[in-house]
Structure formats: C-alpha cells, structure tokens
Chains A and B, each alone.
Chain A
Amino acid sequence: MAEIHLQATAHSYIANPKEPADYALKSLDHVWEDGGAYALLGPSGCGKTTLLNIISGLLTPSEGRVLFGDTDVTHRDTADRNIAQVFQFPVIYDTMTVRQNLEFPLRNRGMTAADIKARVDEIAEMLDLTDRLDDRAANLSADAKQIISLGRGLVRSDVNAILFDEPLTVIDPHKKWQLRSKLKALHRQFGFTMVYVTHDQTEALTFADKVVVMFGGEVVQIGTPEELFERPAHTFVGYFIGSPGMNFLPASVDGTTATVSGQQISLGAHYGALGNDQVEIGIRPEFLKLSEGDSATIQSIEDLGRHKIAKISFQGHSLSALVPEHQSITPGPSGLIFEPERTLVYQNSHLVTGVK
C-alpha cells in the first residue's frame, strides 16, 4: 500500500502540443493519500478518464512522473502496478464461469491452484457470489457483471488502489444505490485507495471523502464535499455542484463592498482594490434571502415540495434563491439579502481570498 504521487503530470494526444488547449490533461501535482476515497467529477471530455488511465498505467503521460510511494512507475506496465480498474461497461470474459473469471488474474500471475481456490472462495463470499460461482458469467445481469469485474480486482491481495470509471452507468437506478453502499462497505473493510470517476455530483458527493473537480483538462478544485459547497475555488465548481448552481454577478469590488450595477453589497472580508478585469461575486441560492423591499423582482416560483426555488431578476441579472417551504412568496417586487459571509469574490473565474 502506498501513496500515489503525480508530479507535473500532463498528457496530450497530439504529438507536439503547443497551446494549453492541446492538452487533454493539464499539468497536475497531487498526492492521493493511502486509503482515501476520491471522486473525479466533471463533465464529459474534461480529462477524467485520461487522468484515471494515467494512474492505472493504460496511458503513459506525455509529461511528468507517476510515483507509487517512492517508486517511479511512469513507464511501468499496468499489470506491474497493483491496480484494479472497473470500467463503464461491465467487462467479463463471456466464455468463462464466474469462478473462472475471478481466477483469471491469479492464474496469469502463476499462483498455485490451492491458493487460487482459497482466495476466490474468500472474495466470492464477500461479494455474495458463492452460489453463482459455477454459472456462466455471460448470462448474468449488468450489476452482477460489474460485481464480478470488481471481484477480479479484489482477488489480487496486492492491490493498492481500485479505479472506477463511471461504473454505474448501465446499472438500474434502484440497484445503483445497493452497489454504491457495497462499495463503501468494502472500502471501510479493506482500506484500499479508491478513485471513482463520475459526472454525477450526487454520486461523487455521497461516495467520496475528497472530490476532485475537473474542467477543460484542468483540476479546478480538490476538497471535501463541504468545501466544494461552501467555498468553490472556481466558478465552474459553483455552477456544477449544487442544484440549482451558484449565482454569479459581474461586480466591482473595493474593500469590503461590491457594487453591482450601482447597488452596493457588503462582503464578509476585506479585499484590496481589484482591477475591473473579470470580477464577479458568487453566492449560493441557499444563502440568498428574500425580504421586504423592491430592489429585485420575483419572476417565477418552482415548488419542489421540500423547498421552493424563486427565479429573481436583480439589476438585469437573473438569480435563483432557495426559499423554505413554509415561507409564502408571490411573484412581484421583493427585497434581496446577500449574506456577507457567504458572498464570495472571483477574478478570472478563480476564487479570491479576502482578509478578515
């Protein structure tokens, strides 16, 4: 078991990358802690799978190094890396039984028959596959197949990390939850490092201790679900996480005050005089409060049962606010309160930290 280090790791599918846009994965330094549960979150084509394949060794990065503990594995084969990977579509060997599928990685590594049997029985027990061991794997349902592909990773006792590439895509919704809980339980039991790629924020936030948010080939934030919610480091994280996403307003900021089209909004920290270059303030709909007044207009209300979402027009910008279910509101003029502590400042899409 070891930490996984990425040192200035970058990858381009083009032979001689020149611009940043040529990179599928922009230069990244990160240490994946031993035993951590990570989620890689981002829209399609943001470089999640590229990053995953670099860790597993299916892809050799065009720049930088990959270390497992102190060992440089950048140019090592996948098979030598003690890594297991579960793919988007279940990969099973059709012509084999469930048992043969589970035995396969061990046979390839030349283990003795007795050891193989012991190990396979143990893993099958753990995954509730014991009574299906002699079935043909091809005839099983999609979720059972995913369990088998997970099992093929788990049988190897030397596994450092298990990587998941959107493993629940083809699973029925009600089975998804079961499978996810099982993964969490296994993680607690064995303590291997888990990296889980997904584009579904709920999946990422419920699964992981730490979420790595990617956008355009770049890691824009690494943090706990709470950090991602409360202090998005990048406007993309604000949009992408939360439902509805964070509100952003172009503003000018001076000291503890932001000005949006003439309206002053006070901030929870002191910022120096920021230039006029792409400055925005951001606030989550959860922290935007409606009050008496007429500085804004409620345009429509969506009642979700648990709470309401008000679409608000403020100085020509449209915002969303989360309103408690019991609070009665009607379309029309309304006041708007920005919680100062929750109003964050962004420049060129990146979070600016103020002084308290």
Chain B
Amino acid sequence: MSTPMTIMRLIKRIRITPTLYILFLMVPLYWLLTMALKTNAEILGGFSLWPANPTLANFKTILTDPSWYGGYINSTIYVALNTVISLVVALPAAYAFSRYRFMGDKHLFFWLLSNRMAPPAVFVLPFFQLYSSIGLFDTHIAVALAHTLFNVPLAVWILEGFMSGIPKEIDETAQIDGYSFSAFFTRIFMPLIGSGIGVAAFFCFMFSWVELLIARTLTSVDAKPIAAVMTRTVSASGLDWGVLAAAGVLTIVPGAIVIWFVRNHIAKGFALGRV
C-alpha cells in the first residue's frame, strides 16, 4: 500500500523545482516593481522590502514627458516594421525551401542561418557608416532593416519547419482547382500555417525588442529607442532610480502581453525548426 503514497510524495517534491526557479526569476522583477513604486528619497533613505507609501509618480513622469514616452513609440515602430519586413520576405523564401530543390538551396539556407551567428558588435560600425551614407541614419526603417540581419534567418527557419508539416498534396489540389499561386498562398496556405506565422512574429518581435547595441548606434534623437533613453538618463540626470525602475517595468509590459497570446505555441515554435 505504500506505493501510491510514495508516488504522491514524489509528485509533491518534484514540483518544488519549478516553483523555486520561478521564485528566483520573480524576485528581481519584484524588486524592480517596488522601486518603481517608491520615491527616490525612500529608495535612498533606507532599506525596506515594500514601499511604505506606494506612488505612481514615477510612472506619471514617464507617461507625461515626450522624451520618455517617445522612446516607447520609437521602439514600437521599428519593432513592428521589422516584424512585417521579416515575415514578408521570409514567407516566400521559406515556402521555396520547404517545397523545392534549386541550385544552391542548401548552401543558401546555411548561409542564412550563419548570419544568426554574426556578433552584432561586429556590425555596429559598418551599419553606422552604411545607413549614414544613404541618409537613413536616425530613422525607424534603418533599425528595422538592421535587425533583419538576425530576424530574417530565424523567421525563414521557423516557417520552413511549419510549412514542411503541411502535405504538398494541398498545393497540388489548389493548382488543379485553378487557384493562381498568389491566391493559393494568401487564401489557403497562410491560414494553414497561421500558428507558425504567429510564432515567427513572436520571435521577430522578441529579438528586435530586446536588442540595444545596434538600435542605439543607428539613432540619435528622432528614432531613439526606449532602451537607449534609459541608459542616457542614468548618466545625465544623476540616477533617478525610481524613474529608471518605472521605465524598466514599462519595457516588460509589451513582452508579457505578447507571451500571454502565444503561450501555447512558444515551445512548438522552436521544436519544429529543422537542424
């Protein structure tokens, strides 16, 4: 009779691991949040585990000052642009890789993936010169284009995995039914790999949103991302910890929302890509 008991105990013990891990993940985030809800005087005045008088003043500072909230708008614009560009070019390419053999296909595929292995630091200077010389410096499109360096290979890779899971008989049936390629692709094929497109969009969003080095290098005023606004404020305004923490909290919100929408597909996205 002892066996079910030991199993029950085992299950209870096992679950401790993810709980502890999540706790480890959440504590620094909690700390950031409490700081955001404290005044600078309280932060520097003494140590406390939670804010004595929670205040939204730090958030108010950010949401009323254009040089702050402008950063969020800039980031959102280039991230959205990047996601759209990456998907639009990656979709037909992924289709070609999943359906056809053609001259140099394998080399091209691996060359694309190898761009994911290029250290962004390597590209900082040449990007700066390239986009300055064609007059795109400090524009949203420059950052969006630069981020395609790592997002397009990733999108092609993920989409190719999903597309290979769709039987090619579907393509042939549509052809017999008289669909043109573009009608077939947009009306039949794309809905079929809807979750794949969602997953690819998620990863494009993610990597563009979290990147700072390139985004900061390619912008100065008009397209400055929120991440860069944060780093400069630290050095300029004499460390206003509360506002800095509040800005940090606000950069986490979009990510959290996006995760919530794709929570059932995140794991699948990577698992389907081919190696």
- What string of 1s and 0s marks CB contacts (under 8 Å) between B1-29 and chain A? 10110000000000000000000000000
Nearest-Cβ distance from residue A59 to partner chain B, whole angstroms: 12
Tell me, in angstroms, the Cα distance from A212 to B3 when the chains sit together: 31
**What string of 1s and 0s marks CB contacts (under 8 Å) between A46-81 and chain B?**
000000000000001000000000000001110000
In the bound complex, CA of A60 to CA of B7 (Å)? 12
Instruction: Count how many chain B residues have C-beta atoms less than 8 Å from C-beta atoms of the other chain.
Output: 3
Chain A residues within an 8 Å CB radius of B3: 75-77
* Contact residues in B for A77 (Cβ distance below 8 Å): 3
Q: How far is it, in angstroms, between the C-alpha of A76 and the C-alpha of B2 when the chains are bound?
A: 9
A75 / chain B contacts, CB cutoff of 8 Å: 1, 3-4
Nearest residue, chain B, Cβ from A60: B4
* Contact sample, A vs B, 6 pairs, CB 8 Å cutoff: A60-B4, A75-B1, A75-B3, A75-B4, A76-B3, A77-B3
Chain A residues within 8 Å of B, Cβ to Cβ: 60, 75-77
Q: In the bound complex, what is the Cα–Cα distance between A75 and B4 (angstroms)? A: 7
- Min CB distance, A25 to chain B, in Å? 19
Lowest 6 A-B CB distances belong to which pairs? Answer: A77-B3, A75-B1, A75-B4, A75-B3, A60-B4, A76-B3
Minimal Cβ-Cβ distance residue in A for B1: A75
Bound Cα distance from A77 to B3, whole angstroms: 7
Enumerate chain A residues within 8 angstroms of B1, measured Cβ to Cβ.
75
* Chain B residue at minimum C-beta to C-beta distance from A80: B3
Listed in ascending order, the chain B residues whose CB lies under 8 Å from chain A are: 1, 3-4
CA distance A60 to B1 in the complex (A): 12
- C-alpha gap A76/B3 in the complex (Å): 7
Which residues on B sit within 8 Å (CB–CB) of A76? 3
Q: In the complex, what residue of chain A is closest to B2 when comparing beta carbons?
A: A75
Residues of A within 8 A of B4 (CB): 60, 75
In the complex, what's the smallest C-beta–C-beta distance from A57 to chain B, in angstroms?
Answer: 10
Minimum C-beta distance from A114 to chain B (A) = 31
Q: Kindly state the separation between the CA atoms of A75 and B2 in the bound complex, as whole angstroms.
A: 9
Interchain CA distance A40-B6 in the complex, whole Å: 33
| Alpha-carbon separation in the docked complex, A94 to B3 (Å) | 29
**Chain A, Cβ-Cβ closest to B3:** A77
A76 (CB) vs chain B CBs: closest residue: B3
B5 nearest CB neighbor, chain A only: A75
What separation, in Å, do the CA atoms of A250 and B3 have in the docked complex? 53
Kindly state the separation between the CA atoms of A149 and B1 in the bound complex, as whole angstroms.
30
Shortest beta-carbon distance from A60 to chain B in Å: 7
Cα distance, A164 to B1, chains bound together (Å): 27
Cβ distance A123 to chain B, nearest Cβ, rounded Å? 29
A248, B1: Cα distance in complex, Å: 49
Question: What's the nearest-Cβ distance from chain B to residue A71, in Å?
Answer: 13
**How many angstroms from the CA of A161 to the CA of B210 in the assembled complex?**
58
Q: For the complex, what is the distance from the CA of A143 to the CA of B22, rounded to whole Å?
A: 44
Q: Cβ of A60: which chain B residues have Cβ within 8 Å of it?
A: 4
A336 CA to B272 CA, complexed, in Å:
61
Closest to A77 in B: B3
> Closest CB of chain B to A15's CB: distance in Å?
15
Give the docked Cα–Cα distance between A77 and B1 (Å).
10
Question: A28 CA to B3 CA in the complex, in Å?
Answer: 25
In the complex, what's the smallest C-beta–C-beta distance from A65 to chain B, in angstroms? 13
From residue A152, how far is it (CB to closest CB) to chain B in Å?
Answer: 23
Tell me, rounded to whole Å, the shortest Cβ–Cβ distance linking B10 to chain A.
Answer: 13
Query: Bound complex: CA of A76 vs CA of B1, how far in Å?
Result: 8
B7 to chain A, nearest CB (A): 9
Complex Cα–Cα for A179 and B3 (A) = 37
Task: Kindly state the separation between the CA atoms of A59 and B3 in the bound complex, as whole angstroms.
Answer: 13
Closest beta carbon of chain A to B2's beta carbon, Å: 9
Closest to B7 in A: A77
Q: Which residue of A lies closest to B4 (CB)?
A: A75
Report the bound CA distance from A10 to B3 in whole Å.
Answer: 21
Bound CA–CA A39/B16 (angstroms): 43
Complex Cα gap A75–B3 (Å): 7
A66 to nearest B CB, angstroms?
A: 14
A306 CA to B239 CA, complexed, in Å: 92
| CA of A75 to CA of B1, assembled, Å | 6
Shortest Cβ distance from residue A290 to the other chain B in the assembled complex, whole angstroms = 44
In the bound complex, how far is the Cα of B3 from the Cα of A60, in angstroms? 12
B80 → chain A, closest Cβ, in Å? 43
